[in-house]
């Protein structure tokens, strides 16, 4: 029987995402100066205020205020009427040294014996539903907001947009679990107060439907057939949305973990990613399980898969590895047998995850908005400035967990030609 499934996304100007981006900018600066840094950094943003808190063990000294202001400025909070502005907001830092009790469970004389930074379980997911092996409803939700942000920065076709926004896409699936059409789209976007409420809301709805949607269809042609004249549009459904960003809603690091991962498909272990260095398996093992899941689907082992790994704090070897192919396996093996083969192919000890995915590099700012998964793997050069005026340039590889580099190994292990 056909069914509906919904996912949401939020823009880089959403309060929680501002917090994530500041936390990950700090991670990148620590990694650029001292790749061995151990960091767990949380950010809170509210009206005119930023609070930084967390634990750090690093040789790096950073101007955290300058880093936070640069992030806020890049997002677009540059006007005093937003009640949260890059140059004038107050920034309080309560970052202190990491607990020795925690650190003793992670550091080892032999690097390969590095223990997990915490207990817990992490999940990776992949589906053949899209070219990037991501759930379609989430993919579309991200794409809508990426295009909306582009329109805001261009400031030509739509001139009243402000940074805060959310999207939601509901898809109809057929009896074969294939998406056939978009049933509903929700867009809530912050905006200038430019007219009487009724006229303002009518124009925003018209512009979203007649400007944003055609741009998304044109840029992402593979999705164009899903759009139809029966879509239910809910554009700023509560009314005007002038008060937004941190002035409208306090933001915290790690409150958008479903947006960050698979939009409600698969599962989530509960641990946030942003603000954590890769010794924290909440982050590194979630990337590693996505890498496994994507390579399994791309190799033809199955059409959909969920991979779980779990750890005990201070212990290198995982306590379990679990695989669920949802009955889509194309090989004559049980999910348990697939899991055992996966265990032999991918070393899931924390040190080896860090090495395999090149995680001790400043690669995290790019992950902090529009999802950590399903993104483009590419090499870029990044520049960092230290408080003493030194400039550090680093060429780094982004989204290494999205590479299909293990497909040949997976095919060989599973006897797939």
pLDDT tens for the chain, residues 1 to 417: 899 999 999 999 999 999 999 999 999 999 999 999 999 999 999 999 999 999 999 999 999 999 999 999 999 999 999 999 999 999 999 999 876 555 555 665 577 778 888 899 999 999 999 999 999 999 999 999 999 999 999 999 999 999 999 999 999 999 999 999 999 999 999 999 999 999 999 999 999 999 999 999 999 999 999 999 999 999 999 999 999 999 999 999 999 999 999 999 999 999 999 999 999 999 999 999 999 999 999 999 999 999 999 999 999 999 999 999 999 999 999 999 999 999 999 999 999 999 999 999 999 999 999 999 999 999 999 999 999 999 999 999 999 999 999 999 999 999 998
- Residue 254 belongs to some domain of the structure: no
Do 323 and 182 belong to one domain? Answer: no
- Looking up tokens 């409803």 gives 137
- For 152-183, b where at least 16 C-beta lie within 10 A, e where not — what string? beeeeebebbbbbbbbbbbbbbeeeeebebbb
In this structure, what is the dihedral angle of CA atoms 327, 330, 335, 341, given to the nearest 10 degrees? -160
Contact 263, 141 (CB under 8 A): yes
- Residue 311 belongs to some domain of the structure: yes
Do 283 and 226 belong to one domain? Answer: no
Do 206 and 268 belong to one domain? Answer: no
The binding site for ATP comprises: 14, 164-166, 240-241, 249, 255-256, 272, 276
Do 20 and 41 belong to one domain? Answer: yes
Do 221 and 317 belong to one domain? Answer: no
pTM: 0.96
The binding site for L-methionine comprises: 55, 98, 249, 280
Do 297 and 397 belong to one domain? Answer: yes
Do 327 and 410 belong to one domain? Answer: yes
Domains in the chain, number: 3
Do 233 and 300 belong to one domain? Answer: no
- Residue 345 belongs to some domain of the structure: yes
Q: Containing domain of residue 206, as a range?
A: 3-10+136-244
* CA pair distance 149, 154, nearest whole angstrom: 9
The binding site comprises: 14, 16, 42, 55, 98, 164-166, 240-241, 249, 255-256, 272, 276, 280
Of 305, 298, 293, 333, nearest to 407 (Cα)? 298
The CATH number linked to 296 is 3.30.300.10
- Residue 48 belongs to some domain of the structure: yes
- Residue 249 belongs to some domain of the structure: no
Do 78 and 161 belong to one domain? Answer: no
Of 146, 148, 39, nearest to 102 (Cα)? 39
DSSP string, 253-277: TTS-HHHHTTTTSS---S---TTB-
- Residue 284 belongs to some domain of the structure: yes
The binding site for K(+) comprises: 42
- Residue 114 belongs to some domain of the structure: no
- For 294-312, b where at least 16 C-beta lie within 10 A, e where not — what string? bbbbbbbbbbbbbbbbbbe
Give 38's strand partners.
57
* CA pair distance 292, 261, nearest whole angstrom: 15
Of 118, 112, 109, nearest to 38 (Cα)? 118
> Which among 186, 218, 244 is the end of a domain?
244
Contact 258, 264 (CB under 8 A): yes
Contact 376, 398 (CB under 8 A): yes
The binding site for Mg(2+) comprises: 16
Contact 367, 20 (CB under 8 A): no
Do 206 and 321 belong to one domain? Answer: no
- Residue 252 belongs to some domain of the structure: no
> Which among 219, 244, 269 is the end of a domain?
244
Do 164 and 276 belong to one domain? Answer: no
Do 157 and 302 belong to one domain? Answer: no
- Looking up tokens 């400039």 gives 391
């Amino acid at each position: 029987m056909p069914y509906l499934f919904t996912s949401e996304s939020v823009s880089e100007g959403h309060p929680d995402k501002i917090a994530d981006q500041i936390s990950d900018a700090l991670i990148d600066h620590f990694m650029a100066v001292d790749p061995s840094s151990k960091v767990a950094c949380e950010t809170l943003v509210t009206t005119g205020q930023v609070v930084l808190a967390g634990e750090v063990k690093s040789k790096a000294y950073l101007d955290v205020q300058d880093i936070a202001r640069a992030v806020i400025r890049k997002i677009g909070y540059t006007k005093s009427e937003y009640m949260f502005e890059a140059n004038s907001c107050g920034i309080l830092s309560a970052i202190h040294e990491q607990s020795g009790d925690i650190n003793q469970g992670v550091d080892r004389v032999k690097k390969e014996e590095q223990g997990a930074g915490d207990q817990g379980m992490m999940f990776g997911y992949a589906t053949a539903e899209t070219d990037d092996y991501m759930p379609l409803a989430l993919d579309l939700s991200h794409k809508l907001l990426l295009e909306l942000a582009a329109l805001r920065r261009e400031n030509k076709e739509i001139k009243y947009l402000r940074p805060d926004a959310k999207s939601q896409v509901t898809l109809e699936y057929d009896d074969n679990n294939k998406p056939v059409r978009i049933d509903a789209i929700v867009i809530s976007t912050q905006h200038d107060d430019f007219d009487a409420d009724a006229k303002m809301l009518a124009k925003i709805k018209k512009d979203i439907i007649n400007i944003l949607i055609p741009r998304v269809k044109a840029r992402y042609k593979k999705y164009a057939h899903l759009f139809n004249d029966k879509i239910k549009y809910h554009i700023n459904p509560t009314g005007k949305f002038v008060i937004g960003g941190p002035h409208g809603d306090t933001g915290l690091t790690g409150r958008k973990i479903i947006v960050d991962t698979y939009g409600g498909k698969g599962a989530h272990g509960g641990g946030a990613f942003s603000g954590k260095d890769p010794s924290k398996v909440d982050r590194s093992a979630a990337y590693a399980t996505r890498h496994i899941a994507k390579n399994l689907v791309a190799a033809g082992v199955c059409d959909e898969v969920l991979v779980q790994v779990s750890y005990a704090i201070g212990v290198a070897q995982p306590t379990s590895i679990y695989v669920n192919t949802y009955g889509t396996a194309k090989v004559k093996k049980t999910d348990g047998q697939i899991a055992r083969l996966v265990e032999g192919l991918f070393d899931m000890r924390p040190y080896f995850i860090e090495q395999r995915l090149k995680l001790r590099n400043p690669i995290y700012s790019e992950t902090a908005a529009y999802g950590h998964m399903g993104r483009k793997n590419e090499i870029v050069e990044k520049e960092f400035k230290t408080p003493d005026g030194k400039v550090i340039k680093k060429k780094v590889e982004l989204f290494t967990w999205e590479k299909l580099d293990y497909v040949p190994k997976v095919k060989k292990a599973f006897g797939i030609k």
